[in-house]
Structure 1
Amino acid sequence: MMSASLESRSKPTASSLGYPTEDGCHEMSEALKEGLTKDDVEAIYTDWANKSNGSYDENMANHVYKGPYLVAKAVNDNCPDKNIHILDIACGTGFVGQHLNHFGFSNVDGMDASSGMLEKAKAKHVYKNYFCSAIGPPNPSTNIPDHTYDVITIAGGFGPGHIPCEAVDEMIRIVKPGGFIFNITRANHLQTYSEYKDKWEPYIAKKEEEQKWREICRTIFKNYFFEKDGIMYIHEVL
């Protein structure tokens, strides 16, 4: 039987390895405060992207934030055609795009409400087109035509002042029938923040009742983000 001390040493935490932790990440704490407006969120992320030390890319590397890799891998596991047209919503500085490119997907566009984040993404050359836009009410509908994309990806796009539940309608509109929406987020966000608590699950169930989409699966991932659990939803648009 493994001793307690050996077992403990076999599972190092981010803090024990000297990596950033959620408590030590001031920008993330600021970006997830209850009651933030869309403008507040955009400003926080733009400032974070442009920091000369402790930038978004430095704070959110793979050892603490696994969401971008997990959602890109899910696309790769479920979509054999590497030429599909993908929109990465809340793309930030392009983490998901980088992983999608690694898996062989090159027909990828990026959307983010933060101009600073998009500028960092552009420097990585992982997207073909860039949309500086938020999605969902109170924002107007995007200018993207109906049924444009085969796949939408979202990694970490849910939080106060981030993507609202109602954005699902716009996502469904711009995905082709038979296409997929891959959405991964921190599980506790959907259970604690007022924008989602007692709203998210009824809303996505209503879309299924309306035969707008169907849930393919939902999966819990341990240590998805700063040692917190994540949940991925995969829906097929009907």
Structure 2
Amino acid sequence: MRWEVTMPFTSILSLLNTQAADSIASVSRVTAVDACSSISVIHAVLKKESQGLLHTFNMTETCYSKEEEETIDRVLNFTTERGIDNATIIQRFDKISEEYDEVQITIRWTGPQWMGESVACQYPSNRGNIRILDVAAGTGLVSVELRKHGFVHIDGLEPAERMLEQAKKKNLYERYICDMLGDNTLDIADDTYTAVTMSGLSREIMKKLPVKALEELARVTKPGGHVMMNSYDYNFESEILRANLANLESRGIWKLESKQARQHISNGVGGLLHIYTVL
């Protein structure tokens, strides 16, 4: 029997402090993802030495196939490494673009579905005339869900060109904008969209999003429109992100309308959704 996680073992070790990681390695000698006998040891060390990080993982007795385990371990370890810069993150997502959708299905990532449902709740009518910008569009998973609810005017913003190419194959966006959300000004006119969505932005990018990036989200959104973002709950714990989100609210640029939580957004890991009304 194998253990199932939302991150591969090597990524878990990278999130732990050195002492906890050394404890796990020395006690359990885990060398493969199917080392089910080490579950109790890993749990014990995590609880003792890294209690605050335990909620980011879901270790169960549900089994993956060997092929699924290998794919998940390789892809997630490649894209969730801590401390890598934005350029490296983009390059890595380009390299795994053809496998991305398969991995999201396997780990039961439901952020896009949640986003589609949430936008539909905000806009129960006239959906055919509403323009939406999907930020961190990736391969277009959010657009797939939005279209199920009758939204058709959707543009995608994504810095990884090959990820956007996957979306193009499925004709998921009207405009494909290959650009980074950061300190730059986006090539988008003011007040263009009724809603802006952002689901599952890379943790390493999200945790340090600058004020300028958030200002750009508000700038391209019509007054009274909404900026909506969801991700794993721990991605919202960044002090930098929290301060910058609050910065825009204190300046009267937007107002936090709703903050919602879900217990399971991917294999038992919790998620948060923030909805901001642009003023």
Per mean C-alpha deviation after superposition, the further-off stretch among 37-46 and 26-35 is 26-35
- In structure 2, the residue matched to 1:131 is 177
How far off is 1:33 after superposition? 1.9
What is the aligned-residue RMSD (CA, Å)? 2.3
Number of residue pairs the alignment of both structures matches? 216
What amino acid sits opposite 1:236 in the alignment? Answer: T
Q: Any idea what the Cα deviations from partners look like across 1:99-130, whole Å, max 9, x if unmatched?
A: 11111100001111101100000111121110
Q: Which structure 1 residue ranges, 5 or more long, are not aligned?
A: 1-11, 192-196
- In structure 2, the residue matched to 1:4 is none
- In structure 2, the residue matched to 1:220 is 261
Does 1:39 find its partner at 2:87?
A: yes
Cα distance in 2, alignment partners of residues 60 and 69 from structure 1: 12
- In structure 2, the residue matched to 1:92 is 138
Residues 59, 177 of structure 1: CA spacing in aligned structure 2 closer, same or farther, 3 A cutoff?
same
Q: Any idea what the Cα deviations from partners look like across 1:68-118, whole Å, max 9, x if unmatched?
A: 000111000111221200000001111000011111100001111101100
How far off is 1:136 after superposition? 1.5
Are the aligned partners of 1:14 and 1:226 in contact in 2 as well (CA < 8 Å)?
Answer: no
Cα distance in 1, alignment partners of residues 122 and 271 from structure 2: 19
Does 1:231 find its partner at 2:231?
A: no
Does 1:156 find its partner at 2:200?
A: yes
Residues 22, 164 of structure 1: CA spacing in aligned structure 2 closer, same or farther, 3 A cutoff?
farther
Structure number with higher relative contact order (C-alpha < 8 Å, ≥ 6 residues apart): 1
Are the aligned partners of 1:221 and 1:231 in contact in 2 as well (CA < 8 Å)?
Answer: yes
Q: Secondary structure at the match of 1:61?
A: helix
Cα distance in 2, alignment partners of residues 208 and 161 from structure 1: 21
Are the aligned partners of 1:23 and 1:29 in contact in 2 as well (CA < 8 Å)?
Answer: no
Relative to the length of structure 2, the TM-score reads 0.72
Q: Any idea what the Cα deviations from partners look like across 1:148-173, whole Å, max 9, x if unmatched?
A: 11100111014114571421111011
Are the aligned partners of 2:221 and 2:278 in contact in 1 as well (CA < 8 Å)?
Answer: yes
What amino acid sits opposite 2:273 in the alignment? Answer: M
Per mean C-alpha deviation after superposition, the further-off stretch among 34-43 and 56-65 is 56-65
How far off is 1:23 after superposition? 10
Are the aligned partners of 1:64 and 1:227 in contact in 2 as well (CA < 8 Å)?
Answer: no
Of 194, 200, 207, 2:241 maps to 200
Q: Secondary structure at the match of 1:43?
A: helix
How far off is 1:225 after superposition? 2.2
Are the aligned partners of 2:227 and 2:276 in contact in 1 as well (CA < 8 Å)?
Answer: yes
Cα distance in 2, alignment partners of residues 188 and 174 from structure 1: 27
Are the aligned partners of 2:139 and 2:163 in contact in 1 as well (CA < 8 Å)?
Answer: yes
Relative to the length of structure 1, the TM-score reads 0.84
Residues 62, 170 of structure 1: CA spacing in aligned structure 2 closer, same or farther, 3 A cutoff?
farther
Q: Quick check: which has more Rg, 1 or 2? A: 2
Q: Which structure 2 residue ranges, 5 or more long, are not aligned?
A: 1-57
Of 222, 226, 231, 1:185 maps to 231
Larger helix proportion of the pair: 2
How far off is 1:208 after superposition? 1.0
Are the aligned partners of 1:25 and 1:59 in contact in 2 as well (CA < 8 Å)?
Answer: no
